[in-house]
Amino acid sequence: MTIHATRRHLLQTAGLGLAAVPLMVARPSFAQSSGKTYKIALSNSYIGNKWRLEMENVFKAALAMDPFKTEVVGSIYNSGNDVSKQSQQMSNMIAERVDAIVIDAASPTALNGIIHQATSRGILVVSFDSGVTAPSAIKVNISQYDLGKGWAEWIVKQINGQGNVIMVTGVAGTEVDLDRNKGADSVWAQHPGIKVVNRFTGMWDSSTAERNTAAVLPSLPKIDAIWCQGGTDGVLKAFISANRPLPPTAGEAENGFRKMMLGIGGHTVTGYSAGSPPYLSLMALELARRILNGTYPKKNIDVPNVFLSNADLKLGVNVFADQPDSFFDDFTAGGPTSPVDICAQAAIDGSACTDQKLIINLPAA
């Protein structure tokens, strides 16, 4: 039901968007932005999944909210995972003489040349999510290692250091997958009572995770806990289909997983939910603004991981009954003291929040 409603909604917005966007959008260009102080552009490698969409939506919404509304003229570019296109777009940003470029990169190294060109022209480059190796770029990220470790530590506590665990990993060969697994393995190594009975990939995708779980489940003994990098709701659905009880599960921040943590849909799971938050783009944007106006030192920041247990979940705040299972609930950390607080509407369609202020708390300098 919800999926259908959303798809229709998306189609409608897309249709309206196409009709409304003439080839050349008369948007205020940088050159005319005399009242505003900074020009900041987001260079995103691709927009092929829900996470990237939410990441871009909150960025777009933030640009229409204070403090960015008055201080920043922003723009957003996608490059279809094509490095040379992203590089070309960034050189156009340099030509536009932006003050800062915020990037989610298509390659850790292939943009180093253009990043160097930007920074040597005095343009601030802040990378987040898919990071870059260029030393002159400022990096904003969570620790993937700590995330994997945090999930594992919670499991150890839940099952008192004794029991069978399955690990559902991510896309092999990526740095994120590697780091998360390393974090988990560091914990298992200290708890010989934990037995990882199977380790298979879920490709960070619900349906893949569900299929692969269903395939291995019949051969597995009783599972005491699930450690899952992504597609968590799919893994649990496979357990339900196999009439297995749902063990304590540490997983990503998918709405489907959190709904189960609240018991929506008839099955309840004890869970521990955290992930790479889409609001990393906001942290990067805020960092760029603060560095530019001199209120924050020019240094990398580690965004703290926010783990939520069943008790932390609130419908309409960090779980959404009317959003699809694939929606990432961690577009906001929730609450004025958390790293980021922004409304759901911003993540859904990129519109500015009407009833709340945007809060972004950078770690103490």
Partner 1 sequence: MPIPETILAASGPRRSRLSHALTQNIGLALVVALLVACIILYCGLYIATQHRLPGGYELTSTLNNTMPLAFAALAQTLVVLTRGIDLSVGGVIDLTNAVAALTLMGGPVSTTIWTIAILGIGALCGLLNGVLVAVGRLQPILVTLSTLSIFQGIAIKILPQPGGAMPPGFTGVLANPNVPLSLIYIPLIGILWAIFRRTRLGVSVFAIGNDAMAASSHGISVKRTTILAYMLGGVASACAGLFLAANATAGDATTGDTYTLTSIVAAVLGGVSLFGGRGSGLGALFGAFVTVMVVNILFFAHIDPLYQTFYEGLFLLAAVIAANVIGQIVRRRR
Which CB atom, from 75 or from 270, has the smaller least distance to partner 1? 75
Is residue 29 a contact point for partner 1 (CB under 8 A)? Answer: yes
Stretch that binds partner 1, among 73-81, 184-192, 194-202, 323-331 (CB under 8 A): 73-81
- The Cα 232–Cα 194 span in angstroms is 20
The answer to whether 332 contacts partner 1 (rule: CB under 8 A) is no
The residue within the footprint of partner 1, chosen from 6, 36, 50, 88 (CB under 8 A), is: 88
Q: Is 200 exposed, middle or buried (0-12, 13-18, 19+ CB in 10 A)?
A: middle
- Using CB under 8 A, pick the residue from 1, 24, 311, 364 that binds partner 1: 24
Can residue 162 be called a binding residue for partner 1 (CB under 8 A)?
Answer: no
Stretch 194-253 residues interacting with partner 1 (CB under 8 A): none
Contacts for 309 with CB less than 8 Å, ≥ 6 apart:
271, 272
- Residue 341: which H helix or E strand, with range? strand 340-341
Near partner 1 by CB under 8 A: residue from 71, 96, 179, 185: 96
DSSP string, 212-268: HHHHHGGG-----EEEESS-HHHHHHHHHHTT-----EEE--BHHHHHHHTTTTS--
The tokens describing 357, both together, are 């202020």
What tokens were used for 25? 């959008």
Crossing angle of helices 206-216 and 232-241, in 10° steps, is 40
Closest CA to 284 of 113, 27, 110, 63: 63
Residue 361 binds partner 1, judged by CB under 8 A? no
Q: Is 365 in the site for partner 1 (CB under 8 A)?
A: no
Q: Which residue has the tokens 């349906």?
A: 207
Q: In whole angstroms, give the CA distance from residue 177 to residue 172.
A: 6
Nearer to partner 1, 111 or 340 (CB): 111
Please, which residue, 4 or 121, has the CB nearer to partner 1? 121
Using CB under 8 A as the criterion, what x/- string covers residues 108-127 for binding partner 1? xxxxxxx-xx----------
When the beta carbons of 80 and 363 are compared against partner 1, the nearer one is 80
Minimum distance from residue 97 beta carbon to partner 1 (Å)? 8
Length of the chain measured in residues:
365
Q: Minimal distance in Å, beta carbon 328 to partner 1?
A: 18
In the complex, least distance from residue 295 CB atom to partner 1, rounded to whole angstroms: 28
Give yes or no for residue 83 binding partner 1 (CB under 8 A). Answer: yes
Does residue number 107 form part of the binding site for partner 1 (CB under 8 A)? yes
Answer yes or no: are the C-beta atoms of 10 and 324 closer than 8 Å. Answer: no
One-letter identity of residue 212: N
Question: Is 81 near partner 1 (CB under 8 A)?
Answer: yes
Stretch that binds partner 1, among 90-98, 227-235, 279-287, 293-301 (CB under 8 A): 90-98
Residues that bind partner 1 (CB under 8 A): 14, 17-18, 21, 23-25, 27, 29-31, 44, 47, 56, 75-78, 80-85, 87-89, 91-92, 94-96, 106-114, 116-117, 133, 173, 175
